[in-house]
């Protein structure tokens, strides 16, 4: 069983819980005081304890759990599809999140336009198969009211599909 340590309200925790729930990986959560991870690692949390090892950084945690415990399409076997998963995890974590945090509306509009075009012909980020790349978009979905989704109907529909998944409902209920 893995342990996910988090602070209350951490925006990264739900996406990890979503992936764990999708895969049926047993886990437990532990709430730690605010500032714990910044003091330890210089970054906010969460951290995952798997056996004797501790992993930080949400992207590293997602990649670890899906490579270690993933089944089916959550982590595709094709290396080019794996690169696409990495692409979309990085797109959300690096580009979209930074533009949203900086309130850089011009960049955000460009990025949302690219995402809208991508999703117009796909159910999930890699097409018909739900992957861990989709789990990466949880923070954006949770803050959907901050985005002008009336201009981006494919993104709005994608967020609706994400939110309807049973694993998401379990992850949300388990989020500290």
Q: What is the DSSP secondary structure assignment for residue 51, as one 8-state letter? A: T
Residues in the chain: 176
Nearest to 40 by CA among 60, 27, 54: 54
**Residues in CB range of 24: below 8 A, 6 or more apart:** none
Confirm if 124 and 131 have CB atoms less than 8 A apart. Answer: yes
Nearest to 89 by CA among 104, 74, 106: 74
Domains of the chain: 2-71+168-174 (3.40.30.10), 73-165 (1.20.1050.10)
Report the SS3 class of residue 147: coil
Question: Mean pLDDT in runs of 10 for the chain (176 residues)?
Answer: 93 95 96 86 88 94 94 85 95 89 88 97 96 94 88 97 97 92
CA distance 114 to 125: 12
pLDDT value of position 133: 97
pLDDT value of position 25: 95
């Amino acid at each position: 069983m893995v342990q996910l340590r988090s602070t209350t309200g951490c925006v990264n925790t739900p996406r990890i819980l979503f992936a764990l729930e999708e895969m049926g990986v047993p886990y437990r959560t532990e709430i730690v005081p605010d500032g714990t991870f910044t003091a330890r690692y210089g970054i906010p949390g969460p951290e995952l304890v798997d056996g004797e090892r501790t992993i930080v950084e949400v992207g590293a945690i997602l990649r670890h759990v899906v490579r270690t415990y993933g089944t089916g399409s959550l982590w595709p076997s094709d290396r080019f599809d794996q690169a696409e998963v990495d692409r979309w995890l990085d797109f959300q974590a690096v580009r979209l999140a930074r533009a949203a945090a900086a309130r850089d509306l011009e960049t955000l509009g460009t990025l949302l336009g690219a995402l809208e075009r991508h999703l117009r012909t796909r159910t999930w980020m890699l097409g018909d198969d739900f992957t861990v790349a989709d789990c990466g978009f949880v923070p954006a979905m949770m803050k959907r009211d901050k985005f002008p989704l009336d201009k981006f109907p494919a993104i709005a529909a994608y967020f609706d599909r994400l939110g309807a998944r049973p694993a998401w409902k379990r992850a949300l209920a388990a989020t500290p």
